[in-house]
Amino acid sequence: MNKPEYDAVVVGAGPNGLAAAIVLQQAGLSVLLLEGKETLGGGLRTAELTLPGFHHDICSAIHPLAAASPYFQTLPLAQYGLEYITPPVAAAHPFDDGTAAAAVASLAETARSLGQDARAYQQLLEPLVQAWPGLAPDVLAPLSFPRHPLDMARFGLSALQPATMLAGRFRTKEARGLFAGMAAHSIQPLTNPTTAAIGLVLLIAAHRHGWPLPKGGSQAITDALAAHFKALGGKVETNTYIKSLSQLPSAKAVLFDVTPAQLLQIAGHRLSAIYQWQLRRYRYGWGVYKIDWALDGPIPWTAPECAQAGTVHLGNTLEEIQAGEHAISQGQHPERPFVLLAQQSLFDATRAPAGKHTAWAYCHVPNGSRVNMTDAIERQVERFAPGFRNRIIGRHTFDTAGMEAHNPNYIGGDINGGTLDLGQLFTRPALRASPYRTSAPGLYLCSSSTPPGGGVHGMCGYHAASRALRDVFKLPVPPLYQEGT
């Protein structure tokens, strides 16, 4: 038998593909990383989308999970130029009366700002913030017996609830709105079970490390990961779009940073009938409609807290956000969509020419929607920042088709690699002993369609590569970062 050309091949160079490739290369294997686009990164790319000198993050922008990733923290990424900038306010949430709730690094300060909900907020978050170093490796992992079962039980009792139910602990519009904006990152109706989980994780991150952004753009994270992989001896090929296993060089293991739809196309003939059936039943979530702006000045927010925030959630009250997200689940497009907005140039001068600024925003839409949401999004910004539209000097939009063209993993504009509801939280993409193994020996899935799902943390890639190291190569896996050790 001929010797394989590589020990392992990784298809797709998003954050999970990069993480998987590094794990395998760290083990001393020969690894080839293939990327279909000209530039590595998937959702971690930065480009001049509007005007020369204005650098926009094409998809992901603010990175609390990347900076705090139990795997990425083990890597010397600062040696390759990666520098995080942490705004003083992680996320602000303005209201129609000109006030805003704000999540800052200090849990106590955030709680005090919520008035009569101060005690309830502190009681909910403080135990979880304190326990997070031990919880993180289990929360950002496939379902297994936790290393800290009591802490995990406390987290789970809250996290498995619908966001609307957990928000029932609060009485003020400020606390309820702040939590609703966090939970809406789950990209599903806030009445669904488990929608509280992402809200809790994002608030925990805000109170432990803030919500940082990478200097120069999200591409800086990609560039640092790729540089480390190459420094370890890994090989990268771009402009190599894989549609069939026959295109791949021989290898003992192949890991795919793709979603079930692409895996079926590439390797369907090698997969069992039952596994193919499960993949075809996999459910993709809502899409997004995204806008990048070039601005001739900062956004003129009414509430001063918004000018100190890297991220601003535009949705007013919990009830309004809940109604808008429910409408999307019914195939509708709300007139007042929940908008997630980032303003990186306020804190990173490399993003725009002197005196100018960038802003980045998106709203949720039904999967595959081609409706133009530009006016609806800009009206939401103008609502909380009168005069905003007068600052716009350039604009670039992505509808769901544009998002998918940029990154084929964004099926119908779904940036999470599949809906993250209770039915797919632990069994994505299929019900198996290991979610990373396919039914074909040596073929693994390492994308956000596996646990723990979407987000820039690299943990899907880490766990998939660790599974391959054990199964195929009988090698130990690299340890995760443990805070305080």
Calpha distance 225→422 (Å, rounded): 32
- Residue 480 main-chain phi, psi, to 5 deg: -90, 160
Q: Do 304 and 387 sit in the same domain of this protein?
A: yes
Q: Do 419 and 291 sit in the same domain of this protein?
A: no
Distance of CA 40 to the CA centre of its chain: 17
Residue pair 424/282 in contact (Cβ under 8 Å)? The answer is yes
Q: 246: how many CB neighbours lie within 10 A of its CB?
A: 7
DSSP of 163-198, one letter per residue?
HHHHGGG--SHHHHHHHHHHHGGG-S-TTSTTHHHH
DSSP of 248-272, one letter per residue?
SPPEEEEEE-S-HHHHHHHHGGGS-
Domain boundary among 383, 406, 429: 406
| CA dihedral of 143, 149, 150, 154, whole degrees rounded to 10 | -10
- Tens digit of each residue's pLDDT (9 = 90 or more) over 160-215: 999 999 999 999 999 999 999 999 999 999 999 999 999 999 999 999 999 999 99
Q: Do 351 and 392 sit in the same domain of this protein?
A: yes
Q: Do 315 and 395 sit in the same domain of this protein?
A: yes
Residue with the two structure tokens 């039952």: 274
Calpha distance 344→352 (Å, rounded): 10
Q: 153: how many CB neighbours lie within 10 A of its CB?
A: 10
Rg (CA), the chain: 21
Segments in the chain below pLDDT 70: 1-2, 484-485
Count: domains in the chain:
2
- Residues 6+ positions from 59 with CB-CB distance below 8 Å: 42, 43, 44, 45, 218, 290, 403, 406, 407, 410, 415
pLDDT value of residue 1: 44
DSSP-derived 3-state class of residue 369? coil
Q: Do 368 and 468 sit in the same domain of this protein?
A: no
Q: Do 60 and 154 sit in the same domain of this protein?
A: no
CATH code (residue 250)? 3.50.50.60
The whole domain housing 35 covers 6-82+214-282+410-473
Q: Do 56 and 166 sit in the same domain of this protein?
A: no
pLDDT value of residue 425: 83
Q: Do 273 and 309 sit in the same domain of this protein?
A: no
In a domain, 483, yes or no: no
∠ Cα 471 473 474 (to 5°): 70
Domain boundary among 351, 382, 406: 406
Q: Do 27 and 143 sit in the same domain of this protein?
A: no
Q: Do 265 and 309 sit in the same domain of this protein?
A: no
CATH code (residue 136)? 3.90.660
Domain boundary among 406, 429, 463: 406
Q: Do 188 and 296 sit in the same domain of this protein?
A: yes
Calpha distance 102→106 (Å, rounded): 11
Q: Do 185 and 289 sit in the same domain of this protein?
A: yes
pLDDT value of residue 2: 62
Identify the DSSP state of 427.
Answer: S
Identify the DSSP state of 456.
Answer: S
Residue pair 162/191 in contact (Cβ under 8 Å)? The answer is yes
